[in-house]
Structure 1
Amino acid sequence: MIRTFDDAMRFLASFTDWEQLLHRAPARTTFDLGRLHRLLASLGDPHLGRPTLHVTGTKGKSSLTAMADAILRAHGMSTFRFLSPHVLTVRERLSIDGQPVTEAAFAGLVEQLRPQIERLRQRAPEDVPSFFEMMTVMGFLLATRNGVDALTLEVGLGGRLDATNVVDPTVCVVTGIALDHTRILGDTLEKIAFEKVGILKPGRPVVTGLRDDHPGWPVLRARADELGCRVIAPGDGWSLESCEEALTDDGGPLIRVSGTAGGRRLDRVPMHAGPPHQAENALMAVTACEVLLEAAGVSVDDGCIADALAGLRMPGRSHWIPGTPPILVDGAHTTESVAEAGKVARRVAAGRPLHLLCGLTRDRDPRAVLGSLLDSVASITTTRLSTPRSLGADALAAALRAGFPPGVTARSDVDEALGVVLENAIETGGVVLVVGSLYLAGAVLKSLQ
């Protein structure tokens, strides 16, 4: 019997966790949603019957999901939010009204599922869910148990065959499409787009950040036309007019967003965010929420939208920690997102030396992902991530040394690596930048606690 949170985590550890084994995950064609539909049906289909906002995209989907959840809550709706991966605790993945599920409730959800899972292991082992599928089902049960008004769901990987794609969404969002997880999703933008637009459902609007010159646009447009989905795209439903970059009173990154979203206008709304692409995410979130709120019969209020966006904090994403030295923690792990994090870091550093702490998974090319930072940092310290997918600290350092004459320090232990980079920053009056993975962001934030 599952009595405690630790009991629950031990039980969940017995399930296949493809997030940890992504380097060995089978092709997406070997997955299907049949077993999940059967499990949910046996539980009374807890994933159906509530307004739902479903989000996919190569980057920005966690931030957009959090923004949308905050906007809905600001309008008086009770919400369930599903995010992945987590930064500090697995409980972040399942949130009610913006707060992670409690340890006791988490354990209760696992215990609720345990008898059904044990029967499956005996009678139909092929139907035993993965770790991510278990988390997804637990989330739906939690939403039902709390009687929430709306669901905001982030896709785990891809979309078409993702466990979250069992819902009947009120509105879908496809933030953007870039080359990532190519071994599983495909090696072209068109193939990846095919997986992402798999979340579209008949007659349901889709909000997107894709423009008509993007290779994925024809794929999205064709699928939307096939299903009769209204497409709400940049310049045709939402539009960014300006994104002013500024600093908070304690020196952290801030943007002020102006633009239109559906029938609303945002005028210099402040957000605790770094990269300008978060302004586009905010406008897409507002647009999607307007669709959901109107479908739910809730009046949309511009003040509620502004308050929600201004008050939102996203751990591990342009996460600013003032002090001596100040630290900017970002889970950026693609070439584009790391380059953006570097720009934000240079802005907040304001001429002070930057000291880099980084870690990557093995599927990343270190020089490609981190190359944009090599000319702008004073020191580099590498470390190992807490996942079997991690590239070793020494291997990462070796890959970077050729492009960084001052030399690279490798420390496999995250706490030791953090100590090195903090000392470097203190000695030079500099700023620490942490990038490469949400695994690293979480480890650093835990250590600093």
Structure 2
Amino acid sequence: MGFLAGRAVLVAGAGVTGRSAAEALLAAGASVTVTDGSAERLAALEQLLPGVALVPGLTTPPPGVDLVVTSPGWRPDNPLLVAAAAAGIEVVGEVELAWRMAAELADPPTWLAVTGTNGKTTTVGMLESVLRAAGVDAVACGNVGLPVVDALLAGHRVLAVELSSFQLHWSPSVRPQAGVLLNLAEDHLDWHGGMDAYAAAKARVLTGEVAVGGVDDELVAALLSAAPAAAHVGFTLGEPEEGQLGVVGGALVDRAFGPDAVLAEISDVHPPGPPGVADALAAAALARAYGVPPAAVRQGLRDFRPGAHRAVLVAEVDGVKYVNDSKATNPHAAAASLRSHDSAVWIAGGLLKGASVDDLVREEGHRLRAAVLIGADREVIASALARHVPEVPVVDVATMEDAVRAARSLARPGDAVVMAPAAASMDMFTDYAHRGQAFVEAVRALQRS
């Protein structure tokens, strides 16, 4: 890539994203240094990327560096990034790097981008499935796991890009052909410094040719109306107006892209329930913006199956369903999960990251048979329950196995035990998947007992 040849670039972070960025930079002719707080992660790169300088724990950029490519989790107040900015060195993320590399291609791929507080991974998976049903060479990438630079260099024609607020913060130039903002609620406020900055980062997905937003969410509707995109498209779980996608008589209907069209039946959508239908409408909107016909939308939605730990029914024991929604890592996601059940024993807790659970408990507390709390911020959740639904029994436990046993004793036939923590997992687990697996194993132990 011409703009990278001969440049001295510092990559901040030696994880999956940092490794892919460093590899792409090397291939483009840049001189690359990688830094990380973990000497082990750097050592793992030594054999993979010969020719890269590996320096642990940098707090200032090395002399001569004129670009920093940061991994998305690095906060803007990190001393290294602050020092780079103070020295006039541009700091961007791997997604921004991929965007600039794509701009130099003779025939760059189309970007269709997805963000939101919840539902991103499901939506981008649905979008990939729909595009492939239409015969399009498409791949889901970004926050879903495959770095965007890897997807770009693989030569795919359409990139279905999941973007976190962190990635969007570090991507000032990205303008997808179509981008969707699914929903917006408090999350990662400790990283961004407040709700306004978090919302502003998310709204960057609406700066391309077609902006799509979930208009049932008032915050999203306001951001959509203010978006600089040439075309604005809303989606709703109600009947759509002209220029929107929505639901009519059990069918997903498009009234935005050409003549009114039935895209799919609600029964074609997995996972079932309102969150799944909303995600399907969002994916359909992006696919329709690309020109995918209705038949391919339906086939792609039928073909798609959600990933693990996303509202998965693990088992039914003695008339009680046990649901693993470990991916519900914030209050907004947990509220959507509880909304699918009339009566639930809620397993919750972890790291709230500065988010409030009051709205969640106030709005969904009537569904709770009881609550079982684990993790670092369980007292915050307990206080909200005491304020808004003091009649709901609350049990405080130390482990996931204890939580499942306690939930069993509290549940009645017809209830669901819903593990939707409303919080991040890193206080007790490696990640949400580890937490979800712990729940699954505890339920399996219950079945054997």
TM-score relative to the length of structure 2? 0.63
Q: Check whether the contact 2:346–2:370 (CA below 8 A) recurs between aligned residues.
A: yes
Find the counterpart in structure 2 of residue 154 from structure 1. Answer: 162
Q: Check whether the contact 2:72–2:167 (CA below 8 A) recurs between aligned residues.
A: no
2-structure distance, mates of 1:30, 1:53: 34
Question: Deviation digits for residues 92-111 of structure 1, max 9, x if unmatched?
Answer: 522xxxxxxxxxxxxxxxxx
Q: Check whether the contact 2:254–2:262 (CA below 8 A) recurs between aligned residues.
A: yes
Find the counterpart in structure 2 of residue 77 from structure 1. Answer: 136
Query: Which of 326, 338, 358 is 2:321 aligned to?
Result: 326
Query: Which of 281, 289, 294 is 1:291 aligned to?
Result: 289
Higher mean displacement: 416-425 or 51-60:
416-425
2-structure distance, mates of 1:29, 1:230: 37
Q: Does 1:356 align with 2:346?
A: yes
Q: State the 1:306 CA deviation.
A: 1.0
Query: Which of 33, 41, 53 is 1:11 aligned to?
Result: 41
Q: Secondary structure at the match of 1:93?
A: coil
Instruction: Give the letter for the 1:150 counterpart.
Output: V
Judging changes above 3 Å, is the alpha-carbon distance between structure 1 residues 236 and 317 closer, same or farther for their aligned structure 2 residues? farther
Q: Check whether the contact 1:261–1:283 (CA below 8 A) recurs between aligned residues.
A: no
Q: Check whether the contact 2:71–2:93 (CA below 8 A) recurs between aligned residues.
A: no
Find the counterpart in structure 1 of residue 360 from structure 2. Answer: 369
Q: State the 1:172 CA deviation.
A: 1.7
Greater RCO, CA 8 A, separation 6+: 1
2-structure distance, mates of 1:42, 1:63: 23
Question: Deviation digits for residues 31-55 of structure 1, max 9, x if unmatched?
Answer: 9893337997699926862111112
Q: Does 1:416 align with 2:402?
A: yes
Q: State the 1:308 CA deviation.
A: 1.5
Find the counterpart in structure 2 of residue 208 from structure 1. Answer: 213
Following superposition of structure 1 onto structure 2, how do residues 10-29 of structure 1 map, counting pairs within 5 Å? 10-11=40-41, 19=73
Aligned-residue sequence identity (percent) comes to 18
2-structure distance, mates of 1:383, 1:408: 11
2-structure distance, mates of 1:401, 1:329: 25
Q: Secondary structure at the match of 1:55?
A: strand
Judging changes above 3 Å, is the alpha-carbon distance between structure 1 residues 418 and 303 closer, same or farther for their aligned structure 2 residues? same
Find the counterpart in structure 2 of residue 237 from structure 1. Answer: 243
Unaligned runs of 5+ in 2: 1-14, 20-37, 45-55, 58-69, 236-240, 426-430, 442-449
Following superposition of structure 1 onto structure 2, how do residues 419-434 of structure 1 map, counting pairs within 5 Å? 419-422=405-408, 424-425=410-411, 430-434=415-419
1-structure distance, mates of 2:97, 2:332: 41
Find the counterpart in structure 2 of residue 103 from structure 1. Answer: none
Query: Which of 34, 38, 42 is 2:90 aligned to?
Result: 34
Q: Which has the larger radius of gyration?
A: 2
Question: Deviation digits for residues 407-426 of structure 1, max 9, x if unmatched?
Answer: 4222232343234324544x
Q: State the 1:166 CA deviation.
A: 5.1
Q: Check whether the contact 1:269–1:309 (CA below 8 A) recurs between aligned residues.
A: no
Question: Deviation digits for residues 329-388 of structure 1, max 9, x if unmatched?
Answer: 333355554333222122xxxxxx63211114231334443344433323321112xxxx
Q: Check whether the contact 1:177–1:192 (CA below 8 A) recurs between aligned residues.
A: no
Q: Check whether the contact 1:171–1:205 (CA below 8 A) recurs between aligned residues.
A: yes
Q: Check whether the contact 1:261–1:286 (CA below 8 A) recurs between aligned residues.
A: no
Instruction: Give the letter for the 1:11 counterpart.
Output: R
Instruction: Give the letter for the 1:64 counterpart.
Output: T
Unaligned runs of 5+ in 1: 85-91, 95-138, 245-255, 295-299, 347-352, 385-390
Find the counterpart in structure 1 of residue 145 from structure 2. Answer: 93
2-structure distance, mates of 1:39, 1:187: 23
Judging changes above 3 Å, is the alpha-carbon distance between structure 1 residues 302 and 441 closer, same or farther for their aligned structure 2 residues? same
Q: Secondary structure at the match of 2:165?
A: coil
Question: Deviation digits for residues 270-297 of structure 1, max 9, x if unmatched?
Answer: 21234425434322321211222x4xxx
Instruction: Give the letter for the 1:284 counterpart.
Output: A
Q: Check whether the contact 1:359–1:382 (CA below 8 A) recurs between aligned residues.
A: yes
Q: Check whether the contact 2:341–2:367 (CA below 8 A) recurs between aligned residues.
A: no
Instruction: Give the letter for the 1:232 counterpart.
Output: V
* Aligned residue pairs, count: 354
Judging changes above 3 Å, is the alpha-carbon distance between structure 1 residues 64 and 438 closer, same or farther for their aligned structure 2 residues? farther
2-structure distance, mates of 1:430, 1:209: 30
Judging changes above 3 Å, is the alpha-carbon distance between structure 1 residues 372 and 232 closer, same or farther for their aligned structure 2 residues? closer
2-structure distance, mates of 1:268, 1:42: 36
Q: State the 1:187 CA deviation.
A: 5.4
Find the counterpart in structure 1 of residue 101 from structure 2. Answer: 45
Q: Check whether the contact 1:57–1:158 (CA below 8 A) recurs between aligned residues.
A: no
Find the counterpart in structure 2 of residue 101 from structure 1. Answer: none
Judging changes above 3 Å, is the alpha-carbon distance between structure 1 residues 11 and 174 closer, same or farther for their aligned structure 2 residues? same
Find the counterpart in structure 1 of residue 8 from structure 2. Answer: none
2-structure distance, mates of 1:371, 1:218: 24
Q: Check whether the contact 1:46–1:140 (CA below 8 A) recurs between aligned residues.
A: no
Q: Secondary structure at the match of 2:296?
A: helix
Judging changes above 3 Å, is the alpha-carbon distance between structure 1 residues 161 and 75 closer, same or farther for their aligned structure 2 residues? same
Query: Which of 245, 265, 274 is 2:262 aligned to?
Result: 265
Find the counterpart in structure 2 of residue 350 from structure 1. Answer: none
Judging changes above 3 Å, is the alpha-carbon distance between structure 1 residues 29 and 281 closer, same or farther for their aligned structure 2 residues? farther
Q: State the 1:145 CA deviation.
A: 4.7
Q: Check whether the contact 1:275–1:341 (CA below 8 A) recurs between aligned residues.
A: no
2-structure distance, mates of 1:432, 1:219: 36
Question: Deviation digits for residues 103-133 of structure 1, max 9, x if unmatched?
Answer: xxxxxxxxxxxxxxxxxxxxxxxxxxxxxxx
CA RMSD of aligned residues (A): 4.3
Q: Secondary structure at the match of 2:286?
A: helix
